[in-house]
């Protein structure tokens, strides 16, 4: 059941009574008889409610503040949820959630068992398409519009619906958005009910880059022609049909003379704009005209300001794109206690050290310079840093091109975003054995961002590639070594994955060591009689090593001999280490922060090929076959069964009666 079925409860809404217009809105239908002035006031109240709510939860604030008026106008004009509104990425949908029956739960945003930080089909009927990655809205919206048309053809009682895709200026730069627009022009009459709203705030996560950003800026500064078009439209309706067609053509020619035409019209869209996205007096009548028009597909270009209406956000460099909990009055964010440096910053530090002495090292990212730590590289070596925008496919092949000419490119992309470029990783990098370095941030579970941003699958989709080397550090010192190793690895592609968040607090070496490819290490070795097979071997890949050592302590206290090893490499695996652990132990456990079928598959295949699988109790531990919802990372890993207690339980179950005797 969606949250819209639950009435707002004053006891669960701390601001109830402060916002009279917002208090009247339980679902969007409640605001469709509001006057223009009431809608304007509602927008101000909605903005204040959004700020108040996010101050208690943290989240993506700036983007939401920029679309408040647009959100109100769309729900006031369109018959949602029958008319579909699709938010690209979805991190700007907090005001939308408040208006669509979720106000009483908005302060559970990104909290355990609370609302998602993105749109989610299972959360509300007002979220027709789930999103958290960019540039999908136009494709999904076109599919919906065509589906509605086909259903209407089959069933005369079915009313076609409008489909509105709201996409940012950063997201529309991605190739998928162009693929969708190119298809919309030839997708048939169903596409006529598609309205794309380009939310142009000149800033995505980082300032947008590339020719599209420059193009939109030129459109913004060109002479506006809305009043001219409105006048022409009114006059044309009074003319005979033949003259009306002539007037319409004249309007198109006039707009071409004024603006030089638009790229969007060349793609088959009827372009409207640019218009002020914060002016309700413009937005509402324009949206009504587009709702009732059959000119589609339409692209409405609105200009908004990220962080609008909240002074601390307006003055911040990132417009409060993502914030922790904060003081509403001062805007001061609550900082976590000082702790170890993040894995991201450790990678960036070592990369900078190597780049200083190696001009062949370049850095590539896809619209995430600060998130990947490459902003520091960009500041020091701007000529060797490339932010390609939201274009992961291009980023990978661009890096491959550099590698083919002797450079040493580092392609720093989040694990969950690298999925978007898998064909390029396979065909353009691995098949040609080009030495592209993949710095894969946010590996494993990621806390409040939930399943959409979890790096669950990179081990699976990289370990199966013939030429790929895949590393995973157990701590920040190991990450330093792996970054250094990637810098000098020229024989083919190499990837190293590391988690979000802080390291373990170890002292960092002055410089990283170059690791032997495919060689792991034993961290703790159990004492045993030579030539005997007993106890438990734990082979950990990545940062579960800390939990593995905790589990070893617990098992040792029960009299069970435990050896703990750090695999370091998911591919190629250390076959000598695997054979040693299998021959000397009764139980062999592997642990990885990824979906089943990644690292463990490499191990079990070698055990099977050497017949060692016949004589050892092998137990792989990986993420379960489900998506894990947003929560605290430790809780997520507990749910996944990858913390010390679950490791202990796995070992005890495999040992069976023997474990019980040793415990006794």
In terms of average pLDDT, the best of 55-69, 242-256, 523-537 is 55-69
Q: Which residues are annotated binding-site positions? A: 91, 132-134, 169-171, 201, 310, 392
Phi, psi of 627 (to 5 degrees): -90, 135
Task: Select from 40, 306, 65 the least CA-distant residue to 169.
Answer: 306
Same domain, 465 and 527: no
Output the pLDDT for position 326.
Answer: 83
Within a domain: residue 336?
A: no
Helix (H, G, I), strand (E, B) or coil at 492: coil
Same domain, 612 and 528: yes
Same domain, 410 and 558: no
Output the pLDDT for position 315.
Answer: 78
Within a domain: residue 326?
A: no
Active-site amino acid positions: 306, 392, 420
Same domain, 467 and 601: no
Total domains present in the chain: 3
Lowest mean pLDDT of 342-346, 360-364, 388-392, 612-616, name the range: 388-392
Task: Select from 393, 395, 344, 388 the least CA-distant residue to 367.
Answer: 388
CA distances to 327, 527, 535, 584 from 531, rounded to whole Å, are 64, 12, 13, 7
Q: Which CATH number do you get for residue 580?
A: 3.40.50.920
- Joined tokens for residue 432: 């040609």
| Residue range of the domain that includes 400 | 343-497
Task: Select from 247, 233, 216 the least CA-distant residue to 285.
Answer: 233
CA distance 236 to 243: 8
Same domain, 102 and 231: yes
Give the chain's mean pLDDT: 87
CA distance 253 to 453: 46
Output the pLDDT for position 11.
Answer: 58
Other residues' Cβ atoms within 10 Å of the Cβ of residue 202 = 17
Within a domain: residue 252?
A: yes
Q: Which residues are annotated binding-site positions for Mg(2+)? A: 169, 201
Within a domain: residue 328?
A: no
Phi, psi of 282 (to 5 degrees): -90, -45
Same domain, 266 and 200: yes
Q: Where do we find the tokens 């869209």?
A: 269
Q: How confident is the model at residue 5 (pLDDT cuts 50, 70, 90)?
A: very low
Q: Which CATH number do you get for residue 79?
A: 3.40.50.970
Task: Express each pLDDT in 339-366 by its tens digit.
Answer: 899 999 999 999 999 999 999 999 999 9
pTM: 0.83
Q: Which residues are annotated binding-site positions for thiamine diphosphate? A: 91, 132-134, 170-171, 201, 310, 392
Same domain, 491 and 540: no
CA distances to 20, 22, 45 from 40, rounded to whole Å, are 13, 11, 9
CA distance 209 to 193: 31
First to last CA, the chain: 50
Task: Express each pLDDT in 397-443 by its tens digit.
Answer: 999 999 999 999 999 999 999 999 999 999 999 999 999 999 999 99
Same domain, 429 and 574: no
Q: How far is CA 379 from the centre of its chain?
A: 25
Beta carbons of 283 and 302 less than 8 angstroms apart? yes
- Joined tokens for residue 19: 């916002």
Beta carbons of 520 and 539 less than 8 angstroms apart? yes
Q: How confident is the model at residue 10 (pLDDT cuts 50, 70, 90)?
A: low
């Amino acid at each position: 059941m969606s949250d819209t079925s639950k009435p707002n409860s004053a006891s669960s809404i701390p601001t109830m009574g402060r916002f009279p217009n917002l208090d009247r809105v339980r679902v969007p239908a409640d605001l469709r008889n509001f006057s223009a002035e009431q809608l304007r006031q509602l927008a101000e109240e909605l903005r204040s409610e959004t700020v108040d709510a996010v101050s208690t939860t943290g989240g993506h604030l700036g983007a939401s503040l920029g679309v408040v008026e647009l959100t109100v106008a769309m729900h006031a004009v369109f018959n949602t949820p029958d008319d579909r509104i699709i938010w690209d990425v979805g991190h700007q949908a907090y005001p939308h959630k408040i208006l669509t029956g979720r106000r009483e739960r908005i302060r559970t945003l990104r909290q355990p068992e609370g609302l998602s930080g993105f749109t989610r089909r299972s959360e509300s009927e007002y979220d027709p398409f789930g999103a958290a990655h960019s540039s999908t809205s136009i494709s999904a919206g076109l599919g919906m519009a065509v589906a509605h048309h086909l259903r209407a053809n089959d069933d005369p009682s079915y009313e076609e619906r409008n489909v509105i895709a709201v996409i940012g200026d950063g997201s529309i730069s991605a190739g998928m958005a162009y693929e969708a627009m190119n298809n919309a022009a030839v997708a048939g009459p169903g596409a006529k009910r598609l309205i794309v709203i380009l939310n142009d705030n000149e800033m995505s996560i980082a300032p947008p880059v590339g020719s599209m950003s420059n193009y939109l800026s030129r459109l913004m500064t060109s002479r506006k022609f809305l009043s001219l078009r409105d006048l022409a439209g009114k006059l044309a309706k009074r003319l005979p049909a033949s003259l009306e067609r002539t007037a319409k053509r004249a309007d198109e020619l006039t707009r071409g003379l004024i603006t030089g035409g638009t790229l969007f019209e060349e793609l088959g869209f009827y372009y409207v704009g640019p218009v002020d996205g914060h002016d309700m007096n413009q937005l509402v009548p324009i949206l009504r005209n587009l709702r009732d028009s059959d000119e589609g597909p339409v692209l409405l270009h609105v200009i908004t300001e990220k962080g609008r209406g909240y002074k601390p956000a307006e003055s911040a460099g990132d417009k409060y794109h993502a914030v922790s909990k904060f003081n509403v009055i001062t805007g001061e964010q609550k900082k976590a206690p000082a702790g170890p440096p993040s894995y991201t910053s450790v990678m960036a530090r070592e990369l900078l050290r190597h780049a200083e002495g190696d001009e062949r090292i370049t850095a590539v990212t896809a619209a995430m310079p600060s998130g990947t730590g490459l902003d520091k590289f960009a500041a020091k070596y701007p000529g060797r840093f490339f932010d390609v925008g939201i274009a992961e496919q291009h980023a990978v092949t661009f890096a491959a091109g550099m590698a083919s000419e002797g450079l040493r490119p580092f392609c720093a992309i989040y694990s969950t975003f690298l999925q978007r470029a898998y064909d390029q990783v396979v065909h353009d990098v691995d098949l040609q054995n080009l030495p592209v370095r993949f710095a894969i941030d946010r590996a494993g579970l990621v806390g409040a961002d939930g399943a959409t941003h979890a790096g669950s699958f990179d081990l699976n989709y990289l370990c199966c590639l013939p030429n790929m080397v895949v590393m995973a550090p157990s701590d920040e010192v190991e990450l330093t070594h792996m970054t250094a190793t990637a810098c000098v690895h020229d024989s083919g592609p190499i990837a190293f994955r590391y988690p979000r968040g802080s390291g373990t607090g170890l002292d960092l070496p002055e410089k990283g060591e170059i690791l032997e490819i495919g060689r792991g290490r034993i961290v703790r070795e159990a004492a045993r009689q030579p030539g005997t097979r007993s106890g438990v071997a734990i082979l950990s890949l990545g940062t579960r090593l800390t939990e593995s050592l905790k589990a070893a302590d617990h098992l040792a206290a029960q009299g069970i001999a435990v050896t703990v090893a750090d695999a370091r490499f998911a591919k190629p695996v250390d076959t000598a280490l695997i054979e040693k652990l299998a021959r000397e132990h009764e139980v062999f456990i592997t642990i990885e922060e990824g979906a089943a079928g990644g690292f463990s598959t490499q191990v079990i295949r070698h055990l099977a090929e050497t017949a060692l699988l016949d004589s050892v109790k092998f137990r792989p531990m990986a993420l379960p076959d489900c998506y894990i919802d947003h929560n605290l990372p430790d809780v997520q890993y507990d749910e996944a069964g990858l913390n010390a207690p679950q490791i202990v339980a796995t070992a005890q179950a495999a040992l069976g009666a023997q474990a019980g005797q040793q415990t006794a």
